[in-house]
């Protein structure tokens, strides 16, 4: 099999740099909830049944109104409220709950604009919940954004994401069941807990066959993951904070 020329490799690495700069400049966004994604186990797709299911949940009564980027050309800000549900301190990223647990409720309070990172629709169209569950074939935790339509009989899920520690709790740190966005926690400090390695390294190495290029892509991916985390949800969980 022929190896790509140095010029071709340089072109690929340049394209990766351009895409990375574009992602960092425009802000990260995730695929929004979609009918093709499965709901967490036991979560009904009927809005009436869903609301009956969550009616027993205890809200924190301490919602955080937070500025978020909107999906628009000039990236104007909108207000999204995020509020903890139940006891988030019981969540363990290393041992996810067998039955899904609702940990946060989110509402885009704007009447027209869509929130950029999660794709949250305006409050007159939908409300959202974050659920934590156990990943398939492992005991580790994942969380899934669930969209509940206001205008139709529709409950949709986004693709699940790994739930990892953001900061481990230090002796004397206060404990509180809480949910927020990552950039508003720990005085704005970035997550310092190492994220476990995952599968994409092999495909990156095959795309960029030399160690230098593979190493660059691994480092670039780590930067993008860390940047993406700053826009995502956060909860105070057992032994620390999760994102």
Considering only the C-alpha atoms of the chain, give the largest distance between any 2 of them, rounded to a whole number of Å: 62
Give residue 220's pLDDT: 44
Residues of the chain with pLDDT under 50: 16-25, 199-209, 216-229
Q: What is the pLDDT of residue 8?
A: 55
Q: Which of 102, 118, 119 is nearest to 50 (CA)?
A: 102
Give the domain ranges of the chain. 31-193+225-242
Tokens 């954004």 label which residue? Answer: 145
Report yes or no: 85 and 38 within 8 Å, Cβ to Cβ: no
Give pLDDT, residue 208.
39
Q: Where are the beta strands (DSSP E) in 109-215?
A: 126-134, 141-149, 155-157, 161-162, 165-168, 179-181
Rounded to whole angstroms, the Cα distance separating 57 from 104 reads 10
Using alpha carbons, select from 106, 84, 60, 133 the residue that is nearest to residue 236. 84
């Amino acid at each position: 099999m022929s190896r790509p020329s140095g010029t071709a490799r340089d072109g690929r690495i340049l394209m990766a740099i351009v895409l990375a700069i574009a992602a960092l400049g425009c802000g990260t966004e995730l695929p929004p909830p979609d009918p093709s994604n499965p709901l967490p186990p036991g979560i009904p797709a009927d809005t009436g049944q869903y609301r009956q299911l969550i009616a027993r949940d205890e809200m924190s009564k301490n919602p955080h109104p937070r500025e978020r980027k909107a999906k628009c050309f000039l990236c104007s800000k909108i207000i999204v409220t995020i509020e903890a549900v139940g006891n988030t301190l019981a969540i363990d990223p290393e041992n996810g709950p067998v039955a899904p647990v609702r940990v946060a409720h989110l509402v885009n309070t704007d009447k027209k604009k869509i929130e950029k990172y999660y794709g949250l629709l305006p409050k007159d169209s939908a409300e959202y919940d974050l659920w934590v569950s156990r990943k398939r074939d492992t005991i580790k935790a994942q969380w899934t954004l669930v969209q509940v339509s206001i205008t139709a009989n529709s409950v949709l899920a986004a693709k699940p994401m790994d739930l990892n520690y953001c900061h481990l709790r230090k002796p004397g740190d206060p404990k509180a069941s809480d949910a927020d966005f990552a950039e508003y926690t720990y005085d704005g400090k970035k997550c310092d807990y190492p994220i476990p390695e995952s599968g994409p390294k092999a495909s990156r190495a095959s795309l960029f066959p030399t160690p230098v290029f593979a190493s660059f892509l691994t480092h670039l991916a780590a930067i993008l993951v860390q940047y993406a985390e700053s826009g995502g949800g956060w909860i105070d969980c057992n032994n620390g904070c999760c994102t």
